[in-house]
């Protein structure tokens, strides 16, 4: 197990670090920070009071956003391992989302820290499928499956 002290998002090249969900260069965004931990990638995030759906519960769009950005970081870490490196050895490869599948298993309570976990279930050079869980106070409330692809030419 290895817990580097820099998040994966801090390793993205400067020109692709503006994402609203996780870009360190986006002062308005969520600034999600995901860390490698063995075969998994882990993040902690406490939603703000305004990130509400029905009173008392977290907005589903935020939960989808956390799953999305965390999955891109998870894909980046796995790509580095597959290339014989470790995440943090150099800039992290940048993935974008091709598809997002989110199942809201139960309402996620607002006011507690969430734990987001991801691991890659399938990958090729260009693509990774990432399984995500989001837990509130030890209970998994959201499961997601996210398809990540390397930033395509059309976005460069």
Residues that bind its own copies (CB under 8 A): 15-16, 18-21, 23, 26, 28-29, 50-57, 59-62, 64-65, 68-69, 94, 96-104, 106-107, 151-152, 154-156
Shortest approach of its own copies to residue 86 CB, angstroms?
25
Shortest approach of its own copies to residue 119 CB, angstroms?
20
Residues 101 and 76: their CA atoms lie apart, in Å, by: 19
What token pair was written down for 76? 């980046």
Short-list 27, 7, 1, CA closest to 69: 7
* CB closer to its own copies, 4 vs 60: 60
Q: How far apart are the first and last CA of the chain?
A: 34
Shortest approach of its own copies to residue 143 CB, angstroms?
10
* CB closer to its own copies, 87 vs 102: 102
* CB closer to its own copies, 2 vs 121: 121
Shortest approach of its own copies to residue 57 CB, angstroms?
6
138 Cβ contact list (under 8 Å, min separation 6)? none
* CB closer to its own copies, 3 vs 148: 148
Residue bearing tokens 């499928």: 129
Shortest approach of its own copies to residue 89 CB, angstroms?
23
Contact (CB, 8 A) for 83 and 91: no
**b/e 66-85 (16+ beta carbons within 10 angstroms → b):** bbbbbbbbbbbbbbbeeeee
* CB closer to its own copies, 3 vs 50: 50
């Amino acid at each position: 197990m290895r817990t580097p002290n820099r998040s994966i998002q801090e390793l993205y090249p400067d020109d692709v670090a503006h994402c609203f969900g996780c870009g360190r260069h986006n002062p308005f965004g969520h600034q999600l920070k995901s860390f490698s931990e063995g075969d998994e990638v882990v993040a902690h995030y406490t939603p703000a009071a305004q990130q509400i759906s029905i009173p008392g519960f977290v907005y589903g769009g935020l939960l989808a956003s956390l799953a999305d950005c965390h999955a891109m970081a998870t894909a980046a870490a796995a790509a580095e391992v597959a290339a014989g490196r470790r995440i943090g050895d150099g800039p992290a490869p940048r993935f974008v989302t091709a598809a997002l599948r989110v199942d809201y298993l139960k309402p996620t309570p607002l006011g507690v820290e969430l734990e987001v976990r991801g691991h890659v279930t399938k990958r090729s050079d260009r693509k990774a499928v990432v399984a995500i869980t989001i837990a509130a106070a030890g209970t998994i409330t959201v499961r997601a499956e996210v398809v990540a692809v390397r930033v395509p030419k059309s976005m460069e």
